[in-house]
Amino acid sequence: MVANMTLDEKLVMLHGPIDGDCCQCNYSSACAYVGNVPGNTRLDTPPITMNDGPQGFRGFVAHSSTAFPGGMAVAATWDPAAVYLWGSSMGQEFYDKGANVQLGPGLNVARVPLNGRNFEYLSGEDPYLGAQLAGQAVAGIQSKKVVATAKHWALNNQETNRQNVSSMVDERTRFEMYYPPFEAAVEAGAGSFMCSYNKIQAVWSCENPETLQTDLKDRLGFKGYVMSDWGATHTPSINAGLDMEMPNGFFLNPKLLTLGLDAGIISQEKIDDSLMRIFTPMFAVGVMDEPVSAWDWHKQWNNVTTAESIEAARSISAQGTVLLKNEGGLLPLHSSSSLALIGFASDGAITHGDGSGTVTPSRLVTPLQGVQEALTNDGSVVFEDGTDLDAAVAAARAADVAVVFVGTISSEGYDRASLSLDDGCDPSNFFEDGKQCVGNNHKQNDMVQAIVKANPRTVVVLSVPGAVVMPWANQVPAILTNFMPGQEVGHAIADVLFGKVNPTGRLPITFPNHEDEIDFTPGQYPGLGLEGIPEKVWPDFSYYTEKLLVGYRYYDAKGIQFSTGFPFGHGLSYTNFSYSKLRVRFGSVSLTVTNTGAVAGADIPQLYLNFPEKYGEPLWQLKGFKKTQVLQPGQHENVHFRLTKRDLSVWDVKHHAWTKAEGKFGVKVGASSRDIRLEGRMDVIGEGPEDRVVFA
Ligand code: GLC
């Protein structure tokens, strides 16, 4: 088909509308979506209709699509099946809206706890977790004739100065710490990638031959196309590996490309390679089944929320809810309790973060509604939004149990001011449905302490965009987080609070004891400018000198213990599990998980490896996790982890390839990175036939 296209027909596909019109106008097919490439009427190929974002369809028709749980909330499920459901449910809504590219999933590793976009990202702070989940999101989205876009490639780990900052990251750190989730997206057949605003080693990401051509296309074997982030193109950088400029065509346009062709700087083969990269996923995913002649430009106006997507949003949010603490078995609540709900539990409920990934909910089930529906006639609930602290305290004192809904929001475009609940929750900050965070925004920590003083039987629910500090954590008996829970927050949190869903969520990021516990220098974050250069041309440099010590790896290296924070992988259940019979044999690690409690539940045992000292790897790193079936009290399951050669490898910068480590490995299995239940070791002594790893 590419061979049958004229040069003009080819070049028009490498950029968005040239005349400046771009995104989500509601009057022309040239700009109906966030990203627009016209169909070819002669060949009857479909247009490319791209839309945001990673947690649902963001459109100009408000309240007409489902606000799903955010990427971080989905990461907290630690459940590939839940991630697939998330992807396929979103993909269905994009398809029904007439979008054949979803600008998601967001996969950047949460290097910077304050990063304003951590809420959107599926990797948490660990590359292995991100890699196990990314492929499922891509597969789910693409199962619905919608091309997924892995973003933001690469090393876009902060919002501060995102248009200029230069991420200075060595090759081994890139491949071991930041690329694995994207590599999994490639392996899952992601049709497109989005290159990011930042620079890498002082070269713009969307014209960086090392990260685009060498790392992504040559070394990771990516066969789809790279689009720029919106306005992230600086030159006609097709030779560096950019295939499509979005949202307009200021650089990758026919005029400049033809000049390049005439000058022999750009080859016809390169143009055709970009076209092949664009069309191949369109064929593979099924986009080509909808010719432009049959295109319905009015699908944007449809309300695409369905009972299935609502059920999916509810169950995923419940599965992504992490029970951090439950002293004295205060939870689950009883349907006959008298409850006081305080804070963001009504219209001010927090559902999503802000920026291009925002989705205005097609409906909002508030926690108050969810709780009211879960109570029986002999139960009762009163609500105080917390602005009148005395009234809230009185309500708490009079109730059996007080449930305080606190939280904050973050956004694309800037990082959080702090990890405190008292920052970031200003309704005025947020466009679209600025109803969130209505209530007590800036004295939430004081409010929690006043409530738990009035009634020791207090539950705190945190709706947060990532890491948060909780100075009151030792005074509160029960704490949960549902991150950015999406529009079905009310039913989901009630399902967990009343035990209809036994929580299985696990922290995808460390909850620190205090601000900046990882001691970033300004050179690491937010970046150092060049002295004496005027700020407006500062190419800030953010040096990733921590290398592989991100998140729990740093906490392990420094031996940091937890007081008011919680470790990576942490999450409780309403029942208990014991681990036994660890067997480490020829790369397979197995154990028995037994439900030793009184109610049915599922667990997520985690496998961590310690590499032989000489490789200089972090002390421990996640190399396996598996959600068990729901186990009845007394029931057990034998869980098996199969370590691959890649799991045992490090990135060799001399040969620019993965190389298997050899020697004595430490093996531990735990219920979190710190709650270690079983330990063993494994000797890797070489390679046998068919490239198999040989163990002692
Ligand atoms: C934004 C974001 C990107 C989004 C795109 C289109 O600036 O960085 O994630 O998909 O532009 O809105």
User: What pLDDT digit, counting tens, does each position of 95-145 carry?
Assistant: 999 999 999 999 999 999 999 999 999 999 999 999 999 999 999 999 999
Polymer length of the chain: 696
- Residue 432 pLDDT > 60: no
Which pLDDT value is given to residue 24?
A: 85
Among protein residues, the one with the nearest Cα to ligand 1's atom 12 is 356
Burial 529-556 (b: 16+ CB within 10 A, else e): beeeeeeeeeebbbbbebebbbbbbbbb
Residue nearest to atom 5 of ligand 1 (CA): 230
Tell the residue nearest (CA) to atom 7 of ligand 1.
Answer: 230
* Segment 246-250 mean pLDDT: 96
* C-beta of 51 in contact with ligand 1 (< 6 A): no
Mean of pLDDT values over 154-161: 97
Point out which residues pair with 204 in neighbouring strands.
Answer: 199
Mean pLDDT of 529-550: 82
Q: How far apart are CA 469 and CA 85, in angstroms?
A: 31
- Where is 678: in which H helix or E strand? strand 676-687
User: Any idea what DSSP says for residue 72?
Assistant: H
Q: Coil, strand, or helix at residue 481?
A: strand
pLDDT at 617: 98
- Give me the half-sphere count of Cα atoms (radius 13 Å) on the Cβ side of residue 168: 15
Atom of ligand 1 minimally distant from the CA of 247:
6
3-state helix, strand, coil split of the chain in percent (to 5) is 30, 20, 50
From 314, 322, 320, 411, select the one nearest 367 (Cα to Cα).
314
Task: Say what angle helices 127-142 and 268-285 make with each other, to 10 degrees.
Answer: 80
pLDDT at 20 over 80: no
DSSP 3-state assignment of 615?
helix
Catalytic residues: 229
pLDDT tens-place string over residues 32-57: 999 999 999 999 999 999 999 999 99
CA of 16 to the centre of ligand 1 (A): 14
- Tell me the pLDDT tens digit for each residue of 298-311: 999 999 999 999 99
Distance of alpha carbon 436 from its chain centroid, rounded? 21
- DSSP 8-state symbol, 166: E
Evaluate: CB of 156 within 6 angstroms of ligand 1: no
Q: Which of 141, 356, 414, 432 to mutate to test the pocket of ligand 1 (most atoms within 8 A of CB)?
A: 356
Asked if the model's pLDDT at residue 427 lies above 70, the reply is: no
157, pLDDT greater than 60:
yes
Quick one: pLDDT band at residue 586, thresholds 50, 70, 90? confident
Using most ligand atoms within 8 A of CB, pick from 230, 354, 414 the residue to mutate for ligand 1.
Answer: 230
Q: What percent of the chain has pLDDT over 70?
A: 96
pLDDT band at 539 (very low <50, low <70, confident <90, very high): low
Q: Alpha-carbon distance 22 to 16, whole Å? A: 7
Q: Is the minimum distance from the CB of 103 to ligand 1 under 6 angstroms?
A: yes
What share of the chain in percent tops pLDDT 90?
90
The CA distance from 89 to 306, in Å, is 9
Q: What is the pLDDT of residue 438?
A: 81
Ligand 1 centroid vs 102 CA: distance in angstroms? 11
52 lines ligand 1 (CB under 6 A): yes
Q: How many CB atoms lie within 10 A of CB 303?
A: 14
H and E: helices and strands count for the chain? 15, 26
For residue 230, how far is its CA from the centre of ligand 1 (angstroms)?
6
- The CB of 162 under 6 Å from ligand 1? The reply is no
**149 and 194 Cβ atoms separated by less than 8 Å:** yes
Q: Which residues on neighbouring strands pair with residue 568, listed in sequence order?
A: none
Q: How far apart are CA 112 and CA 527, in angstroms?
A: 12
Question: Binning pLDDT at 50, 70 and 90, where does residue 429 land?
Answer: low
For ligand 1, atom 6, which residue shows the shortest CA distance?
Answer: 230
Q: Is 34 in the pocket of ligand 1 (CB under 6 A)?
A: yes
Nearest CA to ligand 1 atom 4: 356
Which residue type is seen at 549? L
Test site for ligand 1: of 229, 358, 411, most ligand atoms within 8 A of the Cβ:
229
Q: What is the mean pLDDT of the chain?
A: 95
Has residue 431 got a pLDDT over 60? no
In this structure, what token pair is assigned to residue 331? 């939870």
pLDDT at 28: 85
pLDDT of residue 687: 74
Looking at residue 537, what is its pLDDT?
Answer: 64
- Return the pLDDT at 430: 59
pLDDT in tens, 376-425: 999 999 999 999 999 999 999 999 999 999 999 999 999 999 999 999 98
Residue-wise pLDDT for 316-372, tens only, equals: 999 999 999 999 999 999 999 999 999 999 988 999 999 999 999 999 999 999 999
Stretch 540-558: mean pLDDT, rounded? 97
Whole-number Å distance, alpha carbon 616 to ligand 1 midpoint, is: 37
SS3 267: coil
| Residue 689, φ and ψ in degrees, nearest 5 | -65, 160
**Residue tagged 């973003």 (tokens):** 151
Closest of 520, 560, 549 to residue 415, by C-alpha: 520
Q: How confident is the model at residue 19 (pLDDT cuts 50, 70, 90)?
A: confident
Question: Which pLDDT score is estimated for 426?
Answer: 78
